[in-house]
């Protein structure tokens, strides 16, 4: 009888620990910046989708390339039509996990390990970042560099001085529990 009670209590309590497992956002902010001798180019995307499993650390990101906002129309057009070919490859994705996913609340330095797909090319990556876990949500930020040629993104010689070979990407999103 005592064992049955223990089992029932444990099951009851485990329901609470697994109750809020998955967190998500549909408005993650991704910025990228290219610093080159002649010009600095930057763009922002406010519609990144991310899902995080707090118990396993499994993490997925999806970004619609056409959602990047540029200040100059020509840059936005070249970005979509020539560099990223967004009609052909409409999304960029990350599929992986947070290594050693922290269970406690507070600030944590973490690394996201997994596969990054940009412009149809998939590469293994490890991205440093910060998690801020509270009772209500999980905030995640990270800054990393992307080398354009790694993803077959080719910049024509004419604009080579305007666009750097590596761009800096920063991620900033707050995920809430998925009900």
Partner 1 sequence: MKKYILWIIALLLVLIALYFYSEYNRKPVSAVDAKAHIVSAEELMKQFLANDSLADEQYKNDVIELNGMVSSVEKNTATVLVFSKEGASVRCTFEDIIPINDSLRVTVKGFYIGYNKDELLGTDIMLNRCVLLK
Residues that bind partner 1 (CB under 8 A): 22, 24, 26-27, 29, 44, 46-47, 49, 51, 62, 64, 66-67, 69-74, 76, 87, 90-91, 174, 178
Nearer to partner 1, 67 or 102 (CB): 67
As measured in angstroms, the least distance from the Cβ of 46 to partner 1 is 5
Alpha-carbon gap, residue 30 to 92, rounded angstroms: 11
Please give the Cα distance from 107 to 120 (Å, whole number): 34
Helix (H, G, I), strand (E, B) or coil at 3: helix
Minimum distance of partner 1 from residue 47's CB (angstroms): 5
Structure tokens at 65: 């390339």
Helix, strand, or coil here: 77? helix
**Shortest Å distance, C-beta 72 to partner 1:** 7
Nearer to partner 1, 4 or 157 (CB): 157
CB of 59 to partner 1, least distance (A): 14
68 or 151: whose CB is closer to partner 1? 68
Contact 119, 89 (CB under 8 A): yes
- In this structure, what are the phi and psi dihedrals at residue 4, rounded to the nearest 5 degrees? -60, -40
Nearer to partner 1, 71 or 100 (CB): 71
* Burial degree of 11 (CB within 10 A; 0-12, 13-18, 19+): exposed
Please state the closest distance from residue 4 (CB atom) to partner 1, in A. Answer: 35
CB of 69 or CB of 161, closer to partner 1: 69
């Amino acid at each position: 009888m005592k064992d049955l009670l223990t089992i029932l209590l444990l099951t009851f309590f485990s329901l609470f620990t697994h109750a809020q497992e998955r967190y998500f956002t549909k408005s993650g902010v991704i910025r990228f910046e290219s610093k080159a001798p002649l010009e600095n180019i930057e763009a922002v995307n406010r519609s990144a989708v991310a899902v995080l499993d707090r118990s396993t650390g499994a993490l997925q990101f999806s970004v619609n390339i056409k959602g990047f906002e540029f200040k100059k129309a020509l840059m936005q057009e070249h970005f979509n039509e020539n560099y990223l070919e967004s009609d052909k490859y409409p999304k960029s994705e990350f599929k992986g996990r947070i290594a050693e996913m922290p269970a406690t609340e507070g600030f944590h330095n973490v690394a996201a390990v997994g596969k990054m797909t940009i412009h149809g090319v998939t590469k293994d990556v490890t991205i440093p970042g910060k998690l801020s876990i509270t009772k209500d949500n999980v905030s995640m930020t990270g800054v990393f560099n992307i080398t354009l040629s790694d993803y077959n993104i080719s910049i024509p010689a004419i604009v080579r001085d305007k666009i750097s070979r590596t761009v800096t990407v920063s991620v900033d999103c707050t995920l809430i529990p998925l009900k």
